[in-house]
Structure 1
């Protein structure tokens, strides 16, 4: 039967024999009672919960076998760990049929293996060639300084420099080429190791999967907070001759998948390790690719020293270091070619390995389950990005959530339907690139469907049951993740319940909905309100204030109807202004621009024309919304003033807010309204400055770029300083871990300083990221109070239809 969770609206199927019993939603983990079956339904012969059945064997391909969504036993009671273990282990119905390896795949593997050996040898040969070149020059070109033609002192010094220059430059080049051979790879993320005696069910589950796919068993199981699972050699190269493996499981996978899907993911990972030679070759390809990327792109203090000293020395000596920099640049270009050659052929083989591992997953869990897993993993990845955005917001208040996997699941349940549709669409339209190490999901799903199998494991319980205490491990993994970022000094007591984040997110959604309803959809943060006062004062006459409030509501409804489309024009014109400003800035700085992109944009003259037109439309739309915003500000001020009236507060449906708190937030909103105007003016300048910084880092000419960048940041500095001074006058009106702080400390922690361009750019970046969400939060809270007051005064809530009716 089809079931819908009343908490998160997730839809799934449950065996008929569990009708009327209490179940736990596999999505949000909240218990609820399953619906009862109608009397005429024949429930006398319930389907088996696990294992293959005759019905399953004859069912159409790719149809998932029905299984219970809860761990409740037949008597309605929660089963013991032993009963759960028996149910899961009984689901293994035998080994899978091992996929055959095509001959072309084997030949490609041998070819790539040889290439992976040749490429490092080519690199070592380049080092040897550079060393021989320096030696040859030093031995055979001494005549530059010993020739009798060089007689005076200055000529002898010049000849000596000419002789020494290739030696010094060559030596620097050799050092820079040898240095990466001893560079340490980037540290992996922090993980926690599980003990077999503490988690016997998980280890037994993993062992049986290894037996089913014919892969070696891992000696260690770690957990982390990634939306991923991986199997690797425990000691890198030292473990390649044996089977010393580590399985790393992302806790969000356990939270977001059922046992069938999760088992399939593990079967995929162990499918790699059943490939023997291919497994080791895959490790070599990935290690070599990462090594070449470090050679080409990674910069360290030695690079900074070379650049700094070349610029600081007198040009008569500094040119030698510039020559060395040219040699280093040339060597890296050669390495760039080698990297792409290796990456091209290595990516082809890695994609074939992924397809091969996919067959293990499909034959373990079934074709239908493979597709479900692929879509769920994409959903979890999107939810993970949203969760990290929530954490970033929370961190601004010096707080961290205590359970990242649970936060990801909360964001998964809250994903809008249009986002889920966009995920499905992206999977259907995805294409595999030449340098992709993994095939796109669309290609993988098509290949899985060709397998046309139901799999050998079909138990669909929440994967969290595999751990004895999922919540404890989830929180411990979250703490370990934070310590990998902030250090071991971070204490568990410093973390806050993740429910605080989800509650704040729910509140933010309610506030955004309230803002949209208040403005009839015609609202934009780019056109902030203009409040007349810093404080909410009692009205001289409550009845007069109420009469005026009614009048303002009607006038606001008319203004909304009269300015339909102004917000859309504002958004479009604002985006075009920023784009035009960026294009014009890049052209002024003579940054190398892709000619095709410039032609698609219409050329320099067309860009200027569109920018000027966008400025005109932006001013017009802002003017249209000004009268609406004035009425909105008046309406909010009048309703909040009525909070001083006892007859109004007595009718509020919730406890009366403290006037001091309302006053503090109203003042903060007034300050933020002015800050939002400043940010609107700063946004195009900041975006253009960011484009120049990227161009400079990408090798653009500093002589052309730096003066324009200085000009932009010089224009940003007074705006940033003025805005920060205004923010300093008001306290941050919400709870903060550091206690009482100012709005400036929250919105713009870095102080913009004259002569320090980085401080100006970073301060503006902070304000542009932090300011708008705070403005929306404050405005939403004031509008929520407005709605409560208006309801207490007997005024109906205005929505789109009532606004149209009042306007008519």
Structure 2
């Protein structure tokens, strides 16, 4: 194993930190003894306490860090059940001239990583793990996933994981020690730790470039370039998908097709445009600091373009094509990763219908309760709420809902907006209750309201004039009746 000079220098500086701590402790203790023997008792005691504090801080930091060990998590990918994915990993390991992982696990984040349970702080070989982010199977092509996995296995081939087994704990001990000490000792140790981190992060960035070279050798320049651009944008996309769509599952009481949904989300034209904008923004705005562990994406792509291209063909299939029987295997992996208790598995169309109806009903109940609690619409029906709005009592309805600490100006501005949202939800809930509307899945949405005759409904547009101008309420009443909405509608109590 060839260890880069920067990594060696980082290790030397790391050892130097503990030598410095020892020197400070022994030096201060020696001065304390001298002070005590020369009649400076108070000063000697203070220096002795300082030396003891530094020694205790180092001991506490070492003990705390050694207790923490990285633990594998996620869904285990069985070699016999998924021979194709394992064959690709074995091939990439052979290309990188390294021993492959002993275990592959799928994890629920946009990331891929390797680590090694290396005994004796990395001096002996240990069990190796490859963690593959489940979203990558939907967000990357086969060629792009090969590039990502080859990058991670490249860390094995250059010995980065062995070094990390030593430097991870030692670096954590450095940080904890600096936090524990005070005064001049902290100032000295903090300055030295910054010097160490400058060199260590420089070594980390060099390691990333070495691993990128393994990606090019295994997947080609274009696949590596595409993977570098795309993987950074997948993280915010996955986060937004979780907030906008996966959050619907508990309300619907159903378990979604997690990965298939993310693939459909990414395929939506609006999302593709947004993803392209995110990729460009990440390239243009990515900060570059001496303390960054990864080089900027633009620098990595430039380095990739200077490498020889092996001329490998692109495999544009979705990365999950490497799984045997993905229609069965993916849900099985998802069940190991997702939180239990969401309910039976259902299509996204059904989840959106159920969650949309529940959200509309929840907001309708909120408005009905606002009417009864405030006394503006004691009956709590849609008609009673419209009567309150017609009388100019919309502020009484909203006043029960919004935060009480708003200024008069903020409250006046909030009334029409909040009233529009809640009234629109009540109208939609009444339509759903009458079987005249439902929520329809929209991967650019997350949903739209569809009437029974197939027409799309904008509920906010329907009620906005009335929520803003009470004189428009009679016209809204007539329109709702024509749509088949019962003005006697009252939302049903919540099941839970």
Moved more, 392-401 or 225-234: 392-401
Matches within 5 A, 1:725-804: 793-794=481-482
Name the structure 1 match of 2:19.
121
Kindly state the Cα deviation for residue 259 of structure 1 after the two structures are TM-superposed. 1.6
For normalisation by structure 2, the TM-score amounts to 0.67
**Structure 1, gaps ≥5 residues long:** 1-100, 145-158, 298-302, 304-326, 483-489, 516-529, 556-577, 579-614, 656-779, 796-808
Write the distance in 2 (CA, Å) between the matches of 1:181 and 1:175. 10
Write the distance in 1 (CA, Å) between the matches of 2:255 and 2:192. 44
TM-aligned CA distance change 1:403 to 1:344, over 3 Å: farther
Name the structure 2 match of 1:273.
156
TM-aligned CA distance change 1:171 to 1:496, over 3 Å: farther
SS at match of 1:227: coil
Write the distance in 2 (CA, Å) between the matches of 1:503 and 1:419. 24
SS at match of 1:111: helix
SS at match of 2:182: helix
Is 1:532 aligned to 2:415, yes or no? no
Kindly state the Cα deviation for residue 423 of structure 1 after the two structures are TM-superposed. 0.8
TM-aligned CA distance change 1:255 to 1:234, over 3 Å: farther
Write the distance in 1 (CA, Å) between the matches of 2:77 and 2:169. 26
TM-aligned CA distance change 1:428 to 1:334, over 3 Å: same
TM-aligned CA distance change 1:534 to 1:110, over 3 Å: same
For normalisation by structure 1, the TM-score amounts to 0.44
Q: Choose the corresponding residue for 1:182, options 39, 42, 63.
A: 63
Is 1:383 aligned to 2:237, yes or no? yes
Retained in 2: the 8 A contact 1:190–1:481?
A: no
Write the distance in 2 (CA, Å) between the matches of 1:633 and 1:192. 41
Kindly state the Cα deviation for residue 497 of structure 1 after the two structures are TM-superposed. 4.3
Kindly state the Cα deviation for residue 175 of structure 1 after the two structures are TM-superposed. 1.5
Kindly state the Cα deviation for residue 436 of structure 1 after the two structures are TM-superposed. 0.8
Name the structure 1 match of 2:281.
426
Aligned length: 424
Kindly state the Cα deviation for residue 244 of structure 1 after the two structures are TM-superposed. 4.7
Matches within 5 A, 1:525-674: 532-537=376-381, 623=412, 628=416, 653-654=436-437
Write the distance in 2 (CA, Å) between the matches of 1:634 and 1:202. 50
Between structure 1 and structure 2, the one with the greater Rg is: 1
SS at match of 1:249: strand
1:613-652 deviations in whole A, cap 9, x for unaligned?
Answer: xx9xx866764675x56995997699799x6xxxx99996
TM-aligned CA distance change 1:228 to 1:623, over 3 Å: closer
Write the distance in 2 (CA, Å) between the matches of 1:531 and 1:186. 60
Is 1:353 aligned to 2:207, yes or no? yes
Name the structure 1 match of 2:174.
292
Name the structure 1 match of 2:37.
140
Write the distance in 2 (CA, Å) between the matches of 1:367 and 1:479. 36
SS at match of 1:222: strand
Write the distance in 1 (CA, Å) between the matches of 2:189 and 2:239. 34
TM-aligned CA distance change 1:619 to 1:163, over 3 Å: same
TM-aligned CA distance change 1:453 to 1:173, over 3 Å: closer
Write the distance in 2 (CA, Å) between the matches of 1:649 and 1:350. 57
SS at match of 1:190: coil
Is 1:436 aligned to 2:334, yes or no? no
TM-aligned CA distance change 1:217 to 1:345, over 3 Å: same
TM-aligned CA distance change 1:177 to 1:391, over 3 Å: farther
Kindly state the Cα deviation for residue 338 of structure 1 after the two structures are TM-superposed. 2.5
Write the distance in 1 (CA, Å) between the matches of 2:333 and 2:39. 64
Write the distance in 2 (CA, Å) between the matches of 1:426 and 1:127. 49
Name the structure 2 match of 1:343.
197
Name the structure 1 match of 2:319.
463
1:137-164 deviations in whole A, cap 9, x for unaligned?
Answer: 5x526674xxxxxxxxxxxxxx7xx875
Kindly state the Cα deviation for residue 438 of structure 1 after the two structures are TM-superposed. 0.5
Retained in 1: the 8 A contact 2:221–2:305?
A: yes
Retained in 2: the 8 A contact 1:210–1:217?
A: yes
TM-aligned CA distance change 1:417 to 1:195, over 3 Å: closer
Retained in 1: the 8 A contact 2:13–2:196?
A: yes
SS at match of 1:216: coil
Write the distance in 2 (CA, Å) between the matches of 1:792 and 1:374. 52
TM-aligned CA distance change 1:353 to 1:250, over 3 Å: same
Retained in 1: the 8 A contact 2:25–2:51?
A: no
Retained in 2: the 8 A contact 1:404–1:498?
A: no
Name the structure 2 match of 1:447.
303
Retained in 2: the 8 A contact 1:229–1:265?
A: yes
Kindly state the Cα deviation for residue 194 of structure 1 after the two structures are TM-superposed. 3.2
Name the structure 1 match of 2:82.
199
Write the distance in 2 (CA, Å) between the matches of 1:268 and 1:367. 12
